[in-house]
Amino acid sequence: MLSKMKKIILSCIFLLSFIFGKGQFTSATLQASGLTCALCAKSIFTNLTALSFVGNVDTDLNTSTFLISFKPGNEVYPDQIKKKVEAAGFSVSNLVLTFTANGETASQQSHLKIGGTYFHIILAKAKVLSGDVKMQIIDKGYVGIKEYKKLLAGNKLACYQTPEIADCQIPELNNAIQSVHVIIK
Amino acid sequence: MNISKIYIVVFVFSIFYNAVYAQELYVLNDPASNVPAKSLNLKYAGKYVNESFNGHKHLGTRQMLEAGMGLNKSLMIRPSLTFSNMYKVYPDRQLNFESVGLYAKWRWLSVDDIHKHFRAAFFLKGIYSKNNLLFDELTGEGDQSAFQAGLIFTQLVNKLAVSSTFTWQEVLDGERWLKYGGPRNFGYRSFNYALSTGYLILPRKYSNYRQTNFNAYIEILGSRGLDRKYQFLDLAPAVQLIINSSSKLNLGYRFQLAGNAFRMAQTGFNISFEQTFLNAFADKKND
């Protein structure tokens, strides 16, 4: 009986989580890997600033870290950020997005739609998001190879184990442009 | 001095000497990394040697233009054009069209980590040259009409970068297929190899993109004739200024450490200038 109640509550939270929030992504911290030279960092910098939703990019050359601020009111596409780093010839080893939340509810197994992207927030328990929430994308290509292997071993969700959106088995996701898995930092 | 001994000594030397910072924007060899996708790298290079042939000594020069283009993250092509006054019959010193070439490189392996990578690339190069065969030394620079295929492995670990290049070269000169009997005067097949290493001297700490970077390089280049017995090993130190994270000015000297090859010159200077145009071919929309 109790487990049935729990299921119903979770389902409710799950459904609620599809209600669009009004929060938005304001900035991101990206660490790139595979480079030490300033010329190499410049190619990443140039590619990132070419993205329509990117406003300003500050670089810390000594740590290959890029502080990206997004243009307000624009949808943010994490896969385009990743592709731009790869086109420059390098990889993303860490991408943390800052989401200014507005009461969005995140639960276990919830996919929060923000802009054109579904964010699967991996959480221990349901949570109402407020203020600035830092979300690290933990899918393949968004973290270092070693870290990804550790994350894979620690997260047995079928949805996370394969890059196929279909494996999430959530009808709403079938038409999704992209879905990423995030952890809240 | 035995060539293999020199090879080992310089290899060990290069590893220990690079413990601080290293760069792989080599002057004479390519790293396994590519020109960024949709970007253009224009290079002018001038090579100057004291040419000594048939008793005449004079300054031989080759002027080279290259346009490296990143097609995508793992594939780049680079057409090249050279003019030279080498291989001329004395006293002709005219600088004329010498060769055209097309180089293509595919980076097939890339394992990245913070300030670290291991990359492997495969390349092909075809060269059409006007020159007649005169020397043992076979290059991909325009000396002979030739075809090259090779592998490059570049390792960057804790700011130490070492790159090795292995090239198989076939000379495609018409003379190769002439049937006139008797011994051949020239070799048509060689194995060229190189070990390149470099380090960033300035700045010690980065502050912005406009800072001028100063790099020093040591490259070891060797060649071994596969159908004609000769070999040589060269050492090529070079310095490089990178201005505004987009232009490179390279100055290098190359000299023979050991060898028994009949070459145009055993020493030479090279100067080159490169300009990178990031995103030169990118459409302005998101893609």
Domain ranges within chain A, ordered by starting residue: 2-184
Angle A114-A144-A24 from CA coordinates, rounded to 5°: 15
Q: Is it the case that residue B195 has pLDDT exceeding 50?
A: yes
Cα–Cα dist A149/B203, whole Å: 36
ipTM score of the complex? 0.85
Cα–Cα distance between A125 and B176 in angstroms, integer?
Answer: 76
Q: Tell me how far apart the alpha carbons of residues B155 and A161 are, in angstroms, rounded to a whole number.
A: 30
B126 has which bridge partners?
B102, B147
Name the CA radius of gyration of chain B, rounded. Answer: 19
Task: Name the token pair of B127.
Answer: 């060269």
Name the residue among B257, B254, B259, B255 with its Cα closest to residue B231. B259
The per-residue pLDDT for B52 is 72
Q: Which of A34, A36, A46 sits opposite B159 (nearest CB)?
A: A36
For the stretch B91-134, pLDDT in tens is 788 999 999 999 999 999 999 988 888 999 999 999 999 999 98
| A108-130 average pLDDT score | 79
CB atoms A33 and B23 under 8 Å: no
Chain A residues with CB inside 8 Å of B43's CB? none
Q: Which residue ranges make up each domain of chain B?
A: 3-277
| Cβ-proximal residues to B145 (8 Å cutoff; 6+ apart), any chain | B99, B127, B128, B129, B171, B172, B173
pLDDT of the residue at B178 = 81
Nearest-angstrom CA–CA distance, B29 and B230? 22
- B155 inside 8 A of chain A by CB: no
Between residues A157 and A46, the one the model is more confident about? A46
**Model confidence at A85: pLDDT above 70:** yes
- Chain B residues within an 8 Å CB radius of A115: none
The total of other beta-carbon atoms located within 10 Å of residue A19's CB is: 11
Position B186, amino acid: F
Per-residue confidence (pLDDT) for residue B232, from 0 to 100: 96
Domain at B3-277, CATH class: mainly beta
Take residue B284 and report the two structure tokens written for it. Answer: 């302005």
In the CATH hierarchy, which top-level class contains the domain A2-184?
A: alpha beta
- Structure token digits, residue B273: 């200038």
Residues paired with residue B143 on neighbouring β-strands, in sequence order = none
Interface test with A, best of B21, B158, B279, B283 (most A CBs within 10 A): B279
Pick the closest to residue B138 from B234, B265, B270, B263 (CA basis): B263
Q: In B, which residues are within 8 Å of A140 by CB distance? A: none
pLDDT band at B287 (very low <50, low <70, confident <90, very high): very low
Q: Which tokens belong to A138?
A: 């933990």
Q: Do A47 and B278 touch (CB under 8 A)?
A: yes
The answer to whether A142 faces chain B, any CB pair under 8 Å, is no
Nearest to B78 by CA among B47, B52, B51, B45: B45
Minimum-distance CB partner of B279 among A33, A39, A46:
A46
A22 pLDDT exceeds 90? no
> What is the Cα gyration radius of chain A?
17
